C-alpha cells in the first residue's frame, strides 16, 4: 500500500502560551480531495504551515509521501497556495510566474511555456505582461493559484482557495481542482465553507480549537450521523413546540430558522417519539422528515460540542 501523502502524528504547536494545534493526528491518503475544515482560528493554517515546513511543530512529527525529509526539501513535489496571498506588486505577471517556477526548481523556458498555457486556460492570457498591481484581486488570486501548480506537483495544498472569489471564478477554480484530482494529484484544501467541502471532498478532518473532532470519509461521517437528523416545517402553534425542542434527553441540538428547524436527536432517542409529542401538543406540521445530515449541521454539532467541552473543562 502506498504511503499516505501527508501524515500528522501527535502534532502540537504552541504560540506564546496558547496552544494552536493540540495532539493532532490524521492521514491524507494519496489521490482524491481532502478537506481540512474548521472554524476561524481552529489551527488550519498553522497545520498547513507546519506541513510546508514554514514553522516547526513543538511535538510530534509530520511525514510527507512517507519520506522522512522536510517539506521544504520536497517542495518540488508540492504546490502551495498560502492563506495570505502575496505577490510582488511591481513585477510582470509572466515574469512572476517564471520566478515561482524557478524557486520550485524548473527551468526558465519550461516555466514560461507552462505559465503561458495556464494563463490562457484561466482566461487571463492577455494580462501576461501587465504588472501584478494592475490586476484585480480575483485575477491576482488566479496568478497565485497558477504559481502553486506550475511545477506539476503530486500534492497540492490550498489554504482557503475560494475565499474572496466571485461565483464565476470560484467555479473556474473548482473545475481546475476537480481536474487535478482526476489526473491523480492529491488535493488538500482548507475551508470554513461547508457546502463547498461537502460537494468536493472525499475525506475530511474537522478541527476546532486545535483539536480533531471529526475524521473520515464523507459517507462514513454522514452514515454515523444519519437517522438522527430531522427537518421540521411548522404551520401553526409554533410556540407549543418550544418545550419539546428544549428537552435535552430527546434532542441534542436545534438549528432554529423560525418557520422551520433542523433538529438532531440524542443518541438512542426515537424520532417517532418527537413526532408523537408534537402532534399531541397540537403543533401544526408541514414537514417531518428524517434526513441525511448536511456537513454544515455535523460541523455545528461537533464544533459546538467541542466549544462547550473546552469551556467547561477538558475535552477528550
Partner 1 sequence: MNKIFAVIRREFVERVRTKAFILSTFGLPILMVFVTVVPVLMMKGTDRTTNIAVIDATSDSVGTRIIAGLERPTFKEGGKPKYAIEHIAPTGDVTTLRDSLLKRTIRDAAEPLDGVLVLPEGVLSGGQAEYFGTNVGSLESMGDLQRILSSTIVGTRLERAGVDAGLVTAAMRPASLKSTKVSKGMATGESGEASFILAYLMGFMLYISVVLFGQQTMMSVIEEKTSRIMEILASSLRPFEMLMGKVLGVGSVGLLQMSIWGGTIFLVGRNRAVLANLFNVPVETMQQMPLPNIPTELLIVFLTYFALGFLLFGALFAAVGSMVNSTQEAQQAVSGVVMLIMVGFFGVFAVIKDPSGGLGTILSMIPFTAPFVMPVRWSMAAVPPAELAISLGIMIAGLLAVVWLAGRIYRTGILMYGKKPSLREVWRWVRAG
Of 277, 299, 287, whose CA–CA distance to 257 is shortest?
A: 287
Strands 229-234 and 260-265: antiparallel
Specify the residue for cell string 504547536: 13
Q: How far is the CB of 189 from partner 1 (least distance, A)?
A: 16
Residue 87 CB, shortest distance to partner 1, in Å, is 6
Distance CA 190, CA 204 (A): 10
Instruction: Give CA separation, 284 vs 18, 248, 281, in Å.
Output: 49, 22, 9
Nearer to partner 1, 92 or 253 (CB): 92
Region of 275 on the Ramachandran plot (φ > 0 left; ψ -120 to 50 alpha; else beta):
alpha
DSSP letter, residue 133: G
Per-residue interface string for the shown chain with partner 1, residues 81-120, x marking contact by CB under 8 A: -x-xxxxxxxx---x---xx-xxxx---------------
Nearer to partner 1, 70 or 222 (CB): 70
* Complex with partner 1: residue 105 or 223, whichever CB lies closer: 105
Going by C-alpha positions, the residue among 169, 110, 56, 105 that lies closest to residue 177 is 169
Question: What is the closest distance, in whole angstroms, from the C-beta atom of residue 251 to partner 1 in the complex?
Answer: 43
Report d(CA 64, CA 113) in Å as an integer.
29
Q: Smallest gap, in angstroms, from Cβ of residue 85 to partner 1? A: 7
Q: Which of 30, 46, 47, 75 binds partner 1 (CB under 8 A)?
A: 75
Q: Which stretch binds partner 1 (CB under 8 A): 1-9, 51-59, 160-168, 201-209?
A: 51-59
What is the DSSP annotation of 12-50? EEEETTEEEEEEEEEEE-SSSEEEEE--TTSSHHHHHHH
Site string for partner 1, 124-163 (x = CB under 8 A): -----------------------x----------------
Of 26, 65, 80, 162, which one interacts with partner 1 (CB under 8 A)?
80
Is residue 35 near partner 1 by the rule CB under 8 A? no
- DSSP count for the chain of H helices, then E strands: 10, 13
Q: Nearer to partner 1 by C-beta: 11 or 78?
A: 78
Outline where DSSP puts E strands in the chain.
6-15, 18-28, 33-37, 59-64, 78-81, 155-159, 186-191, 203-208, 211-217, 229-234, 251-256, 260-265, 285-291
Q: In what order do the strands lie in the sheet with 6-15?
A: 18-28, 6-15, 59-64
CB of 40 to partner 1, least distance (A): 17
> Minimum Å distance from CB 55 to partner 1?
6
72 versus 280: smaller Cβ distance to partner 1: 72
If the CB atoms of residues 100 and 299 are measured against partner 1, the closer one turns out to be 100
CA dist 249 and 260 (Å) reads 21
Does residue 57 touch partner 1 according to CB under 8 A? no
Q: By CB under 8 A, what part of segment 186-245 binds partner 1?
A: none
Q: How far is the CB of 138 from partner 1 (least distance, A)?
A: 17
Contact call for residues 212 and 25 (beta carbons, < 8 A): yes
Q: Does residue 49 interact with partner 1 by CB under 8 A?
A: yes
Q: Which residues bind partner 1 (CB under 8 A)?
A: 49, 52-55, 71-72, 75, 78, 80, 82, 84-91, 95, 99-100, 102-105, 147
Amino acid at each position: 500500500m502506498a504511503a499516505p501523502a501527508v501524515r500528522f502524528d501527535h502534532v502540537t504547536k504552541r504560540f506564546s502560551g496558547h496552544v494552536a494545534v493540540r495532539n493532532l493526528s490524521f492521514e491524507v491518503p494519496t489521490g482524491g480531495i481532502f478537506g481540512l475544515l474548521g472554524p476561524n482560528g481552529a489551527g488550519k493554517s498553522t497545520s498547513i504551515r507546519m506541513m510546508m515546513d514554514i514553522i516547526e511543530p513543538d511535538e510530534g512529527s509530520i511525514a510527507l509521501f512517507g519520506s522522512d525529509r522536510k517539506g521544504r526539501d520536497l517542495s518540488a513535489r508540492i504546490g502551495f497556495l498560502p492563506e495570505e496571498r502575496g505577490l510582488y506588486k511591481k513585477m510582470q505577471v509572466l515574469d512572476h510566474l517564471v520566478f515561482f517556477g524557478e524557486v520550485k526548481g524548473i527551468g526558465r523556458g519550461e516555466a514560461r511555456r507552462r505559465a503561458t498555457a495556464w494563463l490562457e486556460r484561466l482566461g487571463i492570457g492577455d494580462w501576461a505582461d501587465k504588472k501584478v498591481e494592475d490586476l484585480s484581486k480575483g485575477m491576482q488570486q488566479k496568478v497565485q493559484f497558477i504559481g502553486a501548480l506550475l511545477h506539476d506537483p503530486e500534492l497540492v495544498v490550498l489554504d482557503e482557495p475560494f475565499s474572496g472569489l466571485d461565483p464565476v471564478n470560484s467555479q473556474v477554480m473548482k473545475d481546475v481542482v476537480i481536474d487535478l484530482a482526476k489526473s491523480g494529484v492529491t488535493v488538500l484544501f482548507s475551508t470554513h465553507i461547508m457546502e463547498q467541502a461537502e460537494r468536493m471532498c472525499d475525506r475530511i478532518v474537522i478541527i476546532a480549537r486545535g483539536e480533531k473532532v471529526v475524521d473520515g470519509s464523507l459517507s462514513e461521517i454522514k452514515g454515523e450521523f444519519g437517522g438522527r437528523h430531522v427537518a421540521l416545517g411548522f404551520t401553526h402553534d409554533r410556540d407549543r413546540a418550544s418545550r419539546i425542542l428544549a428537552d435535552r434527553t430527546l434532542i441534542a441540538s436545534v438549528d432554529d430558522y423560525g418557520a422551520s428547524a433542523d433538529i438532531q436527536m440524542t443518541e438512542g432517542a426515537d424520532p417517532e417519539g418527537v413526532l408523537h409529542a408534537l402532534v399531541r401538543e397540537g403543533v401544526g406540521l408541514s414537514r417531518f422528515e428524517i434526513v441525511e445530515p448536511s456537513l454544515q449541521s455535523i460541523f455545528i454539532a461537533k464544533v459546538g460540542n467541542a466549544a462547550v467541552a473546552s469551556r467547561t473543562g477538558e475535552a477528550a
